[in-house]
Amino acid sequence: MADIRTPQFWINLAKKVVKSVLKSKGIRTTAPTNIQHVVPHEKGWAIKGEGNEKYTAIFDTQAEAIERAKAIAYGLGASVVIHRKDGTIRDRISYK
């Protein structure tokens, strides 16, 4: 157990409190991953960056969405996660 008499204990506690408050306010507390998800959408298929609320783009076919997601991920040195119609993960492609 940590000793509350040490400065490191209080530093770690302060970090946890600040992180918790920021997270409760909807502020990201970690670095963005740039992972691109190809997900089902009511108008076909969409690309959505991990952690983003909005879609990057919407396509008629999954193949079109995958092609564009690959280009985005390649440029960012990130990954693509391809989902099935039911939302489960079908495949992952990494450009890291």
In this predicted model, what pLDDT tens digit does every residue of 8-46 receive, in sequence order? 999 999 999 999 999 888 887 777 789 999 999 999 999
Q: Are 56 and 72 spatial neighbours (Cβ–Cβ below 8 Å)?
A: yes
pTM higher than 0.85, yes or no? no
Give the pLDDT confidence of 38-74 residue by residue, as tens digits: 999 999 999 999 988 899 999 999 999 999 999 999 9
Distance of CA 21 to CAs 4, 25, 54, 95, Å?
A: 22, 6, 24, 34
